[in-house]
């Protein structure tokens, strides 16, 4: 296993839509393991394949250790939000958006459908932090970042700060 580089805004791969996974093989299994190691090393609660430069509909996530439990890695291929209800506002950050966090409005509960790492159908009903992480990572697969959920003013302030930091380097 290896820790992969995490792509950061403004890298174009973060704005591209990931492609559906149609073949499950050893190369994909290695990518899953590397993504898990990368997520834990970062440390993060979730990671989408776009964030490591792979345009595949693949996410890894683990909210259990954030909530005080042991690690419990979860993997989903081709995830999609089948249903969402309620509303919650939660402070979010992102491994691909350095040094910035903001309150984001999301569904309070979601039903996610996809495949497990062997290609078997699976569903996850999530609420609380799990629902937020799942929506955040699925957004990545669609080329959407959490800053896209912010008001035009807040997003503009962040992007100007990002440009200023890049110019200072």
User: In the predicted model, is pLDDT for residue 98 greater than 70?
Assistant: yes
Where is pLDDT greater, at 67 or 43? Answer: 43
Percent of the chain at pLDDT > 90 equals 79
Q: Is 162 inside any structural domain?
A: yes
Question: Lowest mean pLDDT: which of 8-22, 26-40, 149-163?
Answer: 149-163
* Identified catalytic residue from 37, 103, 127, 137: 137
**For residue 51, what are the domain limits?**
12-168
In a domain, 66, yes or no: yes
pTM: 0.93
Active site residue 118: no
Using alpha carbons, list the distances in angstroms from residue 49 to 13, 155, 157.
10, 24, 28
* Overall number of domains in the chain: 1
Residue with token string 């039903």: 111
- Tell me whether residue 1 is in a domain: no
* Whether the predicted pLDDT of 66 surpasses 80: no
Angstrom distance (rounded) from CA 113 to CA 163: 38
CATH of the domain at 152: 3.90.45.10
For residue 148, tell me if it sits in a domain. Answer: yes
Please check the confidence at residue 55 and state whether its pLDDT lies above 70: yes
- Specify the range with the lowest mean pLDDT, choosing from 23-27, 80-84, 122-126, 150-154: 150-154
Structural domain contains residue 7: no
Q: Considering the domain boundaries, does residue 125 fall inside one?
A: yes
Q: What secondary structure, in 3-state letters, does the chain show?
A: CCCCCCCCCCCHHHHCCCECCCCCCHHHHHHHHHHHHHHHHCCCCEEEHHHHCCCECEEEECCCCCCCCCCCCEEEEEEEEEEEECCEEEEEEECCEEEEEEEEEECCEEEEEEECCCCCEEEEEEECHHHHHHHHHHHHHCCCCHHHHCCHHHHHHHHHHHHHHHHHC
User: Model confidence at 67, in pLDDT bands (50, 70, 90)?
Assistant: low
Which range, of 73-82, 115-124, 127-136, 147-156, averages the lowest pLDDT? Answer: 147-156
Q: How many CB atoms lie within 10 A of CB 131?
A: 26
Does 162 have pLDDT greater than 90?
Answer: no
On whether residue 2 sits in a domain, the answer given is no
Residue 38 lies in a domain: yes
């Amino acid at each position: 296993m290896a820790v992969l580089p995490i792509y950061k805004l403004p890298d174009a791969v973060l704005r591209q839509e990931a492609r559906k996974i149609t073949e499950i093989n050893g190369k994909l299994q290695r990518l899953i393991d590397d993504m898990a190691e990368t997520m834990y090393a970062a440390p993060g609660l979730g990671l989408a394949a776009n964030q490591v430069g792979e345009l595949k509909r693949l996410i890894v996530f683990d909210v259990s250790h954030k909530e005080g439990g042991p690690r419990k890695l979860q993997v989903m291929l081709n995830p999609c939000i089948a249903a969402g209800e309620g509303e919650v506002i939660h402070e979010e950050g992102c491994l691909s958006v350095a040094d910035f966090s903001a309150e984001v409005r999301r569904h309070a509960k979601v039903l996610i459908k996809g495949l497990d790492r062997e290609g078997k159908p699976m569903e996850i009903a999530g609420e609380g932090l799990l629902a937020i992480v799942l929506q955040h990572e699925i957004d990545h697969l669609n080329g959407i970042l959490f800053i896209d959920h912010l008001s035009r003013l807040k997003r503009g302030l962040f992007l100007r700060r990002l440009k200023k930091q890049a110019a200072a380097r």
